[in-house]
Amino acid sequence: MTSEEIKATYSMRDILTKCGLPAPNRAGFCHCPFHKGDREPSMKIYDKDFHCFACGANGDIFDFVSRFYDISFKDAFRMLGGDYKKNDSFASNLAIYRAKKESAMKRKKAERECQRRKLIYDLIGIYREYMNRAEPLSDAWCDCYNAMQMMIYHADTMEERG
């Protein structure tokens, strides 16, 4: 099974039962097994993950099993029925395709942003050059000044966005 199939199969409550721990109360809290001196339940058990508000331990079912038994993620994965076989199923191929497509889209978006920044800075330079050539406070000078201020504003907003 893959990690997603294991997560779909087991809930955190199932994992607590497998580890021999008592079920959480109605609010979903139980005593945390990862630290001592817990008078009141401090670990919240959600459907697919957990969080201890006393010691800060948190994670999914694999993190819980690996912490509880002090084993690696790989061993916890195998303990819950996972295998590391290459999976040529349609779902895995689709996930790989989507990841590659998303990566390509992010790269293209970054390239477009870079081109847009370059264009804005080039326009600012052109407007400055025309302002230096034009007579101060003439119509051409004022038009260049206003356009340059708009480009500077666009450059600043692009920098704020990242």
Do 69 and 12 share a structural domain? yes
Domain-located, residue 125: yes
Quick one: pLDDT at residue 88? 67
Per the model's pLDDT, the better-predicted residue between 22 and 82 turns out to be 22
Mapping DSSP to helix (H, G, I), strand (E, B) and coil, where does residue 160 land? helix
Cα–Cα dist 12/93, whole Å = 28
Do 72 and 7 share a structural domain? yes
Contact 23, 97 (CB under 8 A): no
Mean pLDDT of all residues in 120-141: 91
Mean pLDDT of all residues in 18-28: 91
Domain-located, residue 92: no
- Region at 56 (left for phi over 0; alpha for psi -120 to 50; beta for the rest): left
Which domain, by its residues, includes 43? 3-79
Quick one: pLDDT at residue 158? 84
Give yes or no for residue 42 having a pLDDT over 70.
yes
Global pTM? Answer: 0.51
Cα–Cα dist 158/115, whole Å = 12
Number of folded domains in the chain?
Answer: 2
Do 110 and 70 share a structural domain? no
